[in-house]
Amino acid sequence: MVDQDIFDRLLQFRPSGAPVLSVYVGVDGGPSALRTKLESLVGEVLEQAEAEPSQALRRSLLSDVARVLDLAARGGPPEGSTVGIFACHRAGLYEEVVVPRRARDRAVVDATPYLRPLLAFLDESRRYCLVVLDRMQACLYELFMGELEGATIVVTPGKPGRPVGRDPSPAHRLFRETADVADEFIHATRAELLLVGGPEETVAAFLPFVPHHLRGRVAGTFAFDPRTMGPEQARCCAEAVVDRYERAEEASLVAEILDRVTTGGLGAAGIPWCLAAVNEEAVQFLLIDEEARASGSACDACGWLGLVGATCQRCGGPLRVTQDVIEEMGAAVIGASGRVEHVQAPTPLSQHSVAAFLRFDVPHSAAQVVG
C-alpha cells in the first residue's frame, strides 16, 4: 500500500539543483531478472552521469544509480508489483514505493521526482466493498489498492428475533442479512463502490436485496464459485471488474468534458489552454491521456508553467526546462485541491492530450500566454 506521507513528501519536493532519478520497474522472475532489468533501465542514466561537467552532480547521480541497482540484492518486493524508486543523493532524497500492480518500466532524470505513474495508480485507488456469496454464506472484504483487507462472514439466516416476513427461504434471509451487513460495512470503511461475485443465478437473486441508496454504487458483478475458489481468485476477478468500470468511467468523463468545451461551458482542452487554467488555479478536475508527453518550462519560485521561455511571465524569475510539463500540471492541480484522472481507455482525449473541468472561466485566448 502506498504510504500517503511518502507520496506527500515526493509531491512537495522542490528542485535542489541536483538531478532526481526516478525509476519504475516491474518485479518478476527473481533477483537476477530484476538486476538485469535495472541495469538496462539505468544504462542511459550512466551515460548522462559520465557526461555531467559538474563533479558534485556527477557523483550524486552515480550514487543514485548504485543505490537503485542494489534493490535486486536486497530483494523484498512481491512478484507482480512495481517498485518506484526516487533518489537524489545530494538532496538527501531516497524513497521506495511498492505499487501492487504492473506499470511500464522506465527511468527518468529530471529536477523533480517523476510521479505520473504513481498518480495514475492513486487516482484509481478507490475503496470497494467486495461481496462473494452463494446460497449458504457470504464473505465481505474491503478491496483497496489491489489488496483484500479483512473479512466478514455472514452465515446466519437472519438476526435473532427478526420476523421472517416476506423472506421465508433461508437463501432470501441470507441475502437480506448480507445486504444489511454490506450497508454497515460500506459506512464503516467509507468504501465508494460495491462489487458482487458468486454463481450467476445467485448474484442475480441477491441484487434486488441491495438497499436502494447503494444500487447506483454497484460497480459490477462476476461469476465465481466460493466452494472451489479462494480469496486470491476473488481478488483477481474483482480487479478485472474494477478495470472495466474504470475504463468505462474514463470514456464517460472524456465525453462529458469535450461536450462542455464544444458548447462553451466551464472546460478547457489541449495543453496550452489547460496550462493557462492551471496557472490560474481554475482546474477542478484534470484528465490526462496516459500516453501524452510534452516538454515545457516551470518556475520554481511561483509555480508558473509554460511551454517555452526562459523567464517567468508571472514573477520574472528564471524558468527551468521540464521533460514532462503534463506531470507538473498534475502535481499543481493536486496542490490546488483539484483532482487528476489518467485516462488509459482509447478516447478522443488522445487528440488533445489533456482536458479540464474548470471552477471558473478561462478563455481560450489565455493559451497564447503560455505558448
Taking only the tens place, the pLDDT of each residue in 34-78 is 889 999 999 989 988 888 889 999 999 999 999 999 988 887 677
Distance separating alpha carbons of residues 242 and 344, to the nearest angstrom: 13
Strand positions, DSSP E, 250-307? 267-269, 283-289, 296-298, 305-306
pLDDT of residue 95: 94
Whether the predicted pLDDT of 236 surpasses 70:
yes
pLDDT of residue 103: 79
pLDDT of residue 156: 60
Band of pLDDT at residue 164, cut at 50, 70 and 90: very low
pLDDT of residue 122: 80
State pLDDT tens for residues 199-231.
999 999 999 999 999 999 999 999 999 989 899
State in words which class domain 4-115 has. alpha beta
State pLDDT tens for residues 79-135.
778 899 999 999 999 999 988 777 789 999 999 999 988 888 887 788 999 999 999
Average pLDDT over residues 172-187: 94
Distance separating alpha carbons of residues 231 and 182, to the nearest angstrom: 17
Average pLDDT over residues 283-308: 93
Bridge-based pairing state of the strands 193-198 and 218-223: parallel
Name 314's Cβ contacts closer than 8 Å, sequence gap at least 6: 279, 299, 302, 304
Sequence ranges of the domains in the chain: 4-115, 128-248, 264-370
- Residue 269: how many CB atoms within 10 A of its CB? 22
Mean pLDDT for all residues in the chain:
90
Whether the predicted pLDDT of 163 surpasses 80:
no
Distance separating alpha carbons of residues 170 and 265, to the nearest angstrom: 53
- Domain 264-370, CATH: 3.30.1330.30
Distance separating alpha carbons of residues 254 and 158, to the nearest angstrom: 44
Determine whether domain 128-248 maps to CATH 3.30.420.60: yes
- pTM of the complete model: 0.80
Per cent of the chain over pLDDT 70 is 95
DSSP for residue 126: -
**Fold match between domain 128-248 and domain 264-370:** no
